[in-house]
Structure formats: structure tokens, C-alpha cells
Structure 1
Amino acid sequence: MILSELIQTIHNEIVKRDLMYEHTPANKAILEQKCGGTFEAVLTGKGDTKCLIPQVGTLHFLFRGQGEEYIPCSPSLYRGNPTDVEVFVERMRLVVFRRLLASHPVVEQFFRKHRFLVDEEGLAQHYGLKTSVLDLTSSLEVALFFAMCPYDSEHDRYCYHNDGKEHEAVLYVFLPIFDNEPIPMLDGNGFLNGSIKPIGLQAFRRPGAQQGYGLHLSKEESLKAYMYRFTFTCEESEAYYRKFADGDGLWIKDELVDKAKSITKQEVFSFGVFNETFCDYRPKGFSGNKLKKCLPNGIKLKTKVEDVVFTAEERTQIIERWNNDLGKSMASTIFRKKWFEHEGVEDSNDGQQRIVGIHNEHAFRSLKQLETQQMLLMITCPDGPEGAEWKNYTNTPCTRKKMKAPDNTQWTKVPARMEDMFGNPYLTEKDWWI
């Protein structure tokens, strides 16, 4: 399959599922004009915590592009079959990274203040730490960029093929409602809240630019998705490279890059970091003392080790940039979709139908609402993408935590509701000013 055939195939699969008519040429143009580059604040189901999801209309698929197929396709934390102790060391680096994020004024005084989800491990994955997350995206174009543009690790940048040869790559396609399984998850709480979670907009621009989602896997779990193999030319590789500003539009360099890079090489940790990591990621069969004795050569623990944090001067500069421009710009991309319940539709005397009994205004949609919509859409097209191979590299069965028997004793009523079609930004200067 060549690139143009792959793109047409994905388009056809989206059209099959397009009950909202969002992907007709006219409506797609309106959607991109109204929502392009914006994010919807959606309640996760955990109190008033909200994730910031890329606004792309109905989310039919998530994608992952790779320059080649790796068997198995594992998160960076598990590549090379590391020992439990080696995994623990990487988890200590993640804890150091978490402390770094906590020192960033935008994280603490904007994201935490408004209860926007801070995906610490998803961010760590985007900035080079070894994690249990595989990057996914809601953008086919972004996935194709990563499939066709190789990474230059020496210079920490992406490039394009220019050897005059034809190249092959792979594209993984995930159905979000399936949550990395061959069947949909029906417990009412799993949509974008289980193995697949949104990273979306964060205090740092890289994940948002990539319309990022994360597939969270344990060491025993496998990627389960549909896969296409396709070929492309050097000219097509360069075209995607240029489309995203020579890669800089996706691989954005900011104040987090150098600090994250230093954490990936860190070998000396405080006992405080060790204890925090042991509490959160204790490896099976290890006591604290046993684990300390088993740490690899070169890894040391000390009573006091300075955390990698943003300095007072850096924090001041970050706040100045935020208040001068970045805060207003980011806040303008955060939308919400209000919705109302109603009692149904009735015929009026003039022959027109009108919605009656409108009540209960809600400020935000929830992941559970999106799941209900996804289930209704799936009924119309339950099949996987045409022509794709199903991949479950380790033949991992459906995880026990997801094998919940559905309650077939009664129907589930989905209340009638009306909601904003495009949503609107809602944060004022008072909301984003630090």
C-alpha cells in the first residue's frame, strides 16, 4: 500500500462512522476553522479534575506511526527486558521529573488551580525519560510525520529521507472505545480513563502540538491494535518534514528540554526520592533494604541531593513570559461545551418541532458522556479498519480488571440533552494571570 492509498483508506473508514456528518468537505472546513488547535476541558470522573482533549470532532481513531515494525512494540521502560531493579531506577528518575514539574509556576498556579490534569508520566515520555507509555495521537498527519521522518538522536531533532529510495513504515490504528482490547469496554468508566488516556494540552507545548494521547502498559501487557504497512518516497518524507516546520512544529524546544535530559542521566539520588519511589512503585519481592543493596553499579543514594528544579530566576522569567503573552494565548485555546438536559421534542401548533423542558445547565461534558456517544457510533460500524492486520504481539488476553460482566438485567437510560456544537473559550484574564 502506498501513502496515498493509506490516507484514502483511513478517510473511508472515518466516513463509515461519520454519523455527525463532521467530515463532509463543508463541515470539516467549519470544524477546523472553529476548533483547529483548541482543546476541550472534559471532566474525568474524578471530582472536578478535567483533561484537555484536542478538539477534532468525534474521536473515531487514535494513531501511532513508526519507521519500522518492532516486535514486540513495548514502551521504552521495558525495552531490552530490564530487571525489576533497573525499572525501579527509571522510576526514581520519573519521581525527580515530577518534582521538577511541581516547581514550574504554570503547572502549580494555572493547571493545578483550575484542576486541569497534569499527566506527569505522559510529559516525561514526551521529554525523553523511559516510561510505561506509548505515544498515540488523534492526528493522522502527526502520526505519518513520525512514521516517515527519522529521529536524529545525536542532534535531538527529526530529519527526512533523501537517499532517493522508496521506504516502508507502519501505522497503528486504535479504536479508543476498545481501550487496547479487541472488544469494547462496557463498564461506563473506561473511555480515555483506562489503558488509553489523553495527554492533550499541558504546561509545555510539545504534547498539545502532537495532539498527544498515551497508551499505558505494564511489563506483561502488549499493544493491541490494527496495523497498516505502507511505502513512501523521499519526496513525501520531505513534504511532511516541511509541513511541520522542519519538525520544529512538533518537537518543540522549551525550558523543560535540558533539565529533562539531565534527569535521564542522573545516577545519584536522595533517600527521599528513593522512599517516594518505593512507596509508589515498589517492585514485587523487595524490601527497602534489599532493594538498596541490589541497585546497579553507578547508582548511589545520599542523604541530601539537590532536586532538579526551576530556579527563582527561571521562575520569574517564566511568569513574565506567561503574563506578557503565553498565558492569554494558551487560555484562548481552552474551550468548554455547555450542555442541558431536556424532556424531548414536541410538535408545535405551527407544525415545527421544538425541544421542551430544557433544564439543568452543565458547564462541562464528561468522559462518560463521550463514551456513551462512542458506543452508539460503534453500533453502526463495529468492524475494524478494512485491510489492516490485527496485532497482539504477546497474545496477551483481555486483562482481568477489564473483564467485568455487563449488567444485562435492565436497559441503561441515556437522558436527552443538547450541547454546544463547537464550544467556547471561557477563561478570563483573572483566571490565567499568575
Structure 2
Amino acid sequence: MILSELIQTIHNEIVKRDLMYEHTPANKAILEQKCGGTFEAVLTGKGDTKCLIPQVGTLHFLFRGQGEEYIPCSPSLYRGNPTDVEVFVERMRLVVFRRLLASHPVVEQFFWKHRFLVDEEGLAQHYGLKTSVLDLTSSLEVALFFAMCPYDSEHDRYCYHNDGKEHEAVLYVFLPIFDNEPIPMLDGNGFLNGSIKPIGLQAFRRPGAQQGYGLHLSKEESLKAYMYRFTFTCEESEAYYRKFADGDGLWIKDELVDKAKSITKQEVFSFDVFNETFCDYRPKGFSGNKLKKCLPNGIKLKTKVEDVVFTAEERTQIIERWNNDLGKSMASTIFRKKWFEHEGVEDSNDGQQRIVGIHNEHAFRSLKQLETQQMLLMITCPDGPEGAEWKNYTNTPCTRKKMKAPDNTQWTKVPARMEDMFGNPYLTEKDWWI
């Protein structure tokens, strides 16, 4: 399959699944305008915590592009079959990274203030730490960039193929409602809150620019997805490289990059970091004392080790940049979609139907509502993408029971609601100023 055929195939699969209103020219134009680099604040189901999900219209697929097929396809934390102790050391680095994030004024005074989810491990993955997360994206274009533009580790940047040859790459396609399984989840609580979670907009721009999601896997779990193999030319590789500002539009360099790099090389940790990591990520069969004795050569523990944090001067500079421009710019990309409960429709005297019983305005949609929509769409189009191979590299068994045809007593009526189809920004200067 060549690149143009792959793009057309995915386009056809999306159109086949789109809601009816997304097909009209006027609505399609508005959606394209509203969805360009914007994010919807969606309730996660944990109090008033909200994740900032990339707006793409109805979410049908998530993608992962790779320059070649790796078997198995594992998160960086588990590549090379590390020992439990080696994994623990990487988890200590993650704890140090978490503390770094907590010292950033935008995290502290904007994200936490508005109860926006800070995906610490998702951010760590995007900034080079070894994690249990595989990067996914809701953008086909972004996935194709990473499939066709190789990474230059020496210069920490992406480049394009220019050897005049034809190249092959792979594209993985995930159905979010399936959550890394061959059949959908039906428990009503797992959509984008199980193995697959949104990273979306964060205080640092790289995940948002990549419309990022994360697939969280344990050491024993496998990626389970549909896969296409495709070929492309050097000209097509360069075109995608240029499309994203020579890669800089996705691989954004900011104040987090150098600090994250230093953490990836850190070998001396405080006992406090060790204890916090042991509490959160205790490896099976290890006591604290046993684990300390088994730490790899070069890894040391000390009573006091300065955390990698943003200094007072750096914090002042970050706040100045935020209040001058960045805060207003980011706030303008955060949307919400209000919705109302209603009792359904009834026939009017003129033979038309009208909506009745509209009440109870709600400020935000929830993951639960998005899951209901996904289930209804799945009923109309239950199959995977046409022509793709199903991949489960380690033959990990499915953890879910297969669906049975329900009898008349097992159907659940989805409550009727009216919602803002497009959404709008809602944060004022008072909300984002720090």
C-alpha cells in the first residue's frame, strides 16, 4: 500500500463512522475551524478533575506511526528485558520528574487551580524518560510524520529521508472504545480511563502539539491494534518534515527539555525519593532493605540530594512570559461544551416534532458521555478498519468477556440531552493570570 492509498483508506473509514451532522458542508467547515489546535475540558469522573482532550470532531481512531515494525512493540521502560530493580531506578527518575513539574508555576497556579489533569508519566514519556507509556495521537498527520521522519538522537531532532529510495513504515490504528483489546469495554467506566488515556494539553506544549494520548502497559502486556504497512518516497518524507516546521512544530524545545535530560542521567537519589518510589512502585518480592542492597552499580542513595526544580529566577521568567502572552494564547484553545438534559420529543399540532422538557444546564461533558456516544457508533459500525492486520505480539489473552445478544430486558435507554455541538473558549484573563 502506498501513502496516498493509506490516507484514502483511513479517510473512508472515518467518513463511514462520522455522525450525520459532521457531513454537512457548513458544519464540517465550522468543525475544522474549531478543532484546529483546540482542546475540550472533559470531566474524568474523579470529582471536578478535567482532562484537556484534543478536539477532532468525533474521535474514531487513535494512531501510532513507526519507521519500522518492532516485535514486540514495548514501552521504553521494558525494552531490553530489564530487571525489576532496573525498572525501579527508572521509577525513581519519574518521581524526581514529578517534583520538577510541581515546581513549575503554570502547573501550580493554572492547571491545579482549574483542576486540569497533569499527566506526569505522559509528560515524562514526551520528554525522554523511560516509562510504561506508548505514544498515540488522534492526528493521522502527526502519526505519519513520526512514521516517515527518522529521529536523529545525536542532535535530538527529526530529519527526512533523502537517499532517493522508497521506504516502508507502519501505522497502528486503535479504536478507543476497545482500549487495547479486540472487543469493546462495556463496564461504563473505562473509556479513555483504562489502558488508553488522554495526555492532551499540558503546561508544556509538546504533547498538545502532537495531540497526544498514551497507551499504558505493564511488563507482561502487549500492544493490541490494527496495523497497516505502507511505502513512501523521499519527497513525501520531506513534505511531512516541512509540514511541521522541519519537525520543530512537534518536537518543541522549551524550559523542560534540558532539565528532563539531566534526570534521565541521574544516578544519585535521596532516601526521600527512594521511599516515595518504593511506596508508589514497590517491586514484588522486595523489602526496602533488600532493594537498597540490589541497586545497580553507580546508583547511590544519600540523605540529602537537591531535587531538579525550576529556580526562583526561572519561575519569575516563566510567569512573565505566561502573563505577557502564553497564558492568553493557551486559555484561548481550551473549550467546553455545555449541555442540557431533556425529556425527548413529542409531536406538535403542525405534524413536526419538538424537543420538550429542557432543563439542568451542565458546564462540561464527561468521559462517561463520550463513552455512550462511542458505544452507539460502534453498534452502527462494529468492524475494524478495512484491510488492516490485527497485531497482538505476545498473544496476551483478552481480559474481557465477549458480548452476548441482549434480550428485551437488558437494553439500557440512553438519557436524551442537548449539547453545544462546537463548544467555545470560556477562560477569562482573571482565570489564566498568575
- Distance in 1, matches of 2:30 and 2:19, equals 16
Q: Is the 8 A contact 2:50 2:115 kept in 1?
A: yes
**Secondary structure of 1:402 counterpart:** coil
Secondary structure of residue in 2 paired with 1:293: helix
Distance 1:402 1:122, change over 3 A: farther
Q: 1:302-322: CA deviations, max 9, x gaps?
A: 000000000000000000100
In the alignment, the residues of structure 2 paired with residue 275 and residue 166 of structure 1 have an alpha-carbon distance, to the nearest angstrom, of 51
Q: Is the 8 A contact 2:38 2:54 kept in 1?
A: yes
**Distance in 2 between residues matched to 1:306 and 1:277, nearest whole Å:** 16
- Mark the runs of 5 or more structure 1 residues left unpaired by the alignment: none
Cα shift at 1:406? 9.9
Question: For residues 52-100 of structure 1, what are the alpha-carbon distances to aligned partners after superposition, in whole Å with 9 as ceiling and x for unaligned?
Answer: 0001010000000000000000000000000000000000000000000
* Residue pair 2:225, 2:391 contacting (<8 A) in 1 also: yes
Contact preservation (8 Å) 2:192, 2:198:
yes
- Residues 378-421 of structure 1: CA distance to partner in whole angstroms, max 9, x if unpaired? 11111111110000000001237999999996332211100001
CA 1:5/1:400 → structure 2, altered by over 3 Å: closer, same or farther? closer
1:319-338 superposed matches below 5 A: 319-338=319-338
Counterpart in 2 of 1:112?
A: 112
Cα 1:233–1:141, aligned 2, differ >3 Å: closer, same or farther?
Answer: same
Quote the offset at 1:116 in angstroms.
0.4
1:319-339 CA distance string (max 9 Å, x none):
010011110110011000000
Confirm or deny: 8 A CA contact 1:63 1:136 kept in the other structure.
yes
The runs of at least 4 aligned residues of structure 1 exceeding 4 Å deviation read: 23-26, 400-409
Q: 1:377 to 1:67 in 2, by over 3 A?
A: same
Deviates more, 1:406-415 or 1:47-56: 406-415
Alpha-carbon separation, structure 2, partners of 1:402 and 1:206: 38
Instruction: Quote how far apart the aligned CAs of 1:153 are.
Output: 0.3
- Which residue is 1:291 aligned to? 291
SS in 2 for 1:21: helix
Retained in 2: the 8 A contact 1:187–1:406? no
What SS is found at the alignment partner of 1:22?
helix
User: What is the percentage of aligned positions where both structures have the same residue?
Assistant: 100
Bigger Cα displacement from structure 2, 23-32 vs 141-150:
23-32
User: Contact 1:78/1:219 (CA < 8 Å) preserved in 2?
Assistant: yes
Say which SS state the counterpart of residue 401 (structure 2) adopts: helix
- CA shift, 1:231, in A, is 0.2
Distance between the aligned counterparts of 1:275 and 1:409, measured in 2? 52
SS at the partner of 1:42? strand
Q: Tell me which moved more, 126-135 or 354-363.
A: 354-363
Conservation of the 8 A alpha-carbon contact between 2:129 and 2:264: yes
**2:19–2:58 Cα contact (<8 Å) kept:** no
TM-score, structure 2 as length reference: 0.97
Name the CA shift for 1:24/1:347 in 2 (closer, same or farther; >3 Å). closer
C-alpha separation between the residues in 1 aligned to 2:247 and 2:222? 29
Partner Cα distance (1:296, 1:112) in 2: 36
SS of residue paired to 2:228: strand
**Preserved contact between residue 183 and residue 400 of structure 2 (Cα < 8 Å):** no
Alpha carbons of 1:430 and 1:3: their partners in 2 closer, same or farther (altered >3 Å)? Answer: same
Aligned-residue offset at 1:33: 1.1
Asked if 1 retains the 8 angstrom alpha-carbon contact of 2:225 and 2:390, the reply is: yes
User: 1:409–1:93: structure 2 CA closer, same or farther, 3 Å change rule?
Assistant: farther
Does structure 2 conserve the Cα–Cα contact (< 8 Å) formed by 1:198 and 1:212?
yes
**8 A Cα contact 1:137 1:212, kept in partner:** yes
State the distance in 1 between where 2:432 and 2:263 align. 29
Offset at residue 40 of structure 1 (A): 0.3
Q: Is the 8 A contact 1:185 1:402 kept in 2?
A: no
Q: Give SS of 2:41's match.
A: strand
2:213 is aligned with 1:222: no
Deviation at 1:21, TM superposition (A): 4.2
Aligned residues of 1:186 and 1:406 also touching (Cα < 8 A):
no
Per-residue CA distance 1:221-244 (angstroms, 9 max, x = gap): 000000000000000000000000
1:287 to 1:5, Cα distance in 2 relative to 1, 3 A: same
Alpha carbons of 1:223 and 1:262: their partners in 2 closer, same or farther (altered >3 Å)?
A: same
Shift of 1:22: 1.9
Q: Give the 3 Å change call, closer, same or farther, for CA 405–43 of structure 1 in structure 2.
A: farther
SS at match of 1:317: helix
Q: Hey, what's the Cα distance between the residues in 2 that align with 1:283 and 1:271? A: 17
How many aligned positions are there? 434
**Are the equivalent residues in 2 in contact too, given 1:187–1:404 (CA < 8 A)?**
no
Q: Secondary structure at the match of 1:225?
A: strand
The equivalent of 2:161 in structure 1 is 161
Q: Distance in 1 between matches of 2:335 and 2:181?
A: 30
CA 1:375–1:126: 2 relative to 1, 3 Å: same
RMSD: 1.8
TM-score, L = length of structure 1:
0.97
TM-aligned CA deviation for residue 263 of structure 1: 0.2
Q: Distance in 2 between matches of 1:406 and 1:299?
A: 57
| Structure 2 residue ranges without an equivalent (≥5) | none
Distance 1:402 1:47 in 2: 31
Distance change (3 Å), C-alpha of 1:360 and 1:308: same
Q: Matches of 1:72 and 1:59 in 2, distance apart?
A: 27
Moved more, 241-250 or 340-349: 340-349
Contact 1:99–1:307 (8 Å) recurs in 2: yes
Residue in 1 that maps onto 2:177: 177
Following superposition, the deviation at residue 184 of structure 1 comes to 0.1
Assess if the C-alpha contact under 8 Å between 1:263 and 1:308 holds in 2. Answer: yes
Shift of 1:12: 1.0
Deviations 1:253-294 (A, max 9, x none): 000000000000000000000000000000000000000000
Change (3 A) 1:354 1:401: closer
Q: Indicate conservation of the 8 Å contact 2:43/2:364, yes or no.
A: yes
When residues 29 and 76 of structure 1 are mapped into structure 2, their CA distance, relative to the original with a 3 A threshold, is: same
